């Protein structure tokens, strides 16, 4: 392995089936407002209490892609980590995430193709132990070898 590989990066040579990594984050009003600004998604279900109260959610919810972004954070920072290239992602939103919820984002290695440096990851986000998002990602993992 290269000595200059970023700390926390797991190379294709080190990745093993079943390996998992996760992060926890409280989703704040500020997070939702910043995501709306950056994404330009200003749907009032995310930003307007009185509007959101009259929806099926009966209150404001975080953007689904904000929650999905936590999966991206685990992949880009931990497993495999710095140098990883996203190739694909499926997502299924199962329940809303509300301001103040603590989200646990987890990824688990379910497939490895060493010759192509591709890794399949099972992805999930939970709030209070309940799945709110599930999906699968395919990524190109960094290598610690010179080719």
- Give the DSSP per-residue string, the chain: --TTSPTT---TTT--TT-EEEEEEEPPHHHHHHHHHHH----HHHH-HHHHHTSTTSS----HHHHHHHHHHHHHHTSS-TT-EEEEEEEEE-S---TTPEEEEEEEEEEEETTTTEEEEEEEEEETTEEEEEEEEEEE---SS--
What is the pLDDT at residue 52?
98
What is the pLDDT at residue 103?
98
What is the pLDDT at residue 147?
47
pLDDT mean values, one per 10 residues, the chain (147 residues): 57 97 98 98 98 97 98 97 97 98 98 97 98 98 78
**What is the set of domains in the chain, with CATH numbers?**
20-140 (3.10.129.10)
What is the pLDDT at residue 8?
74
What is the pLDDT at residue 7?
61
What is the pLDDT at residue 146?
52
Q: Is 81 left (phi over 0), alpha (psi -120 to 50) or beta?
A: left
């Amino acid at each position: 392995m290269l000595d200059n590989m970023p700390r926390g990066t797991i190379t294709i040579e080190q990745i093993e089936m079943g390996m998992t990594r996760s992060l926890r984050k409280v989703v704040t009003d500020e997070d939702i407002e910043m995501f709306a600004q950056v994404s330009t998604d200003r749907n009032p279900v995310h930003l307007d209490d009185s509007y959101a109260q009259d929806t099926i959610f009966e209150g404001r919810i975080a953007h689904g892609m904000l929650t999905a972004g936590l999966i991206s954070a685990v992949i880009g920072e931990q497993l495999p980590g710095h140098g990883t290239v996203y190739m694909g992602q499926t997502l299924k939103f199962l329940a809303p995430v509300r301001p103040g919820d603590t989200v646990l984002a987890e990824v688990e290695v379910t497939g490895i193709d060493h010759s192509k440096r591709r890794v399949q990851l099972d992805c999930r986000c939970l709030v209070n132990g309940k799945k709110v998002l599930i999906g699968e990602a395919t990524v190109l993992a960094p290598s610690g070898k010179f080719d």
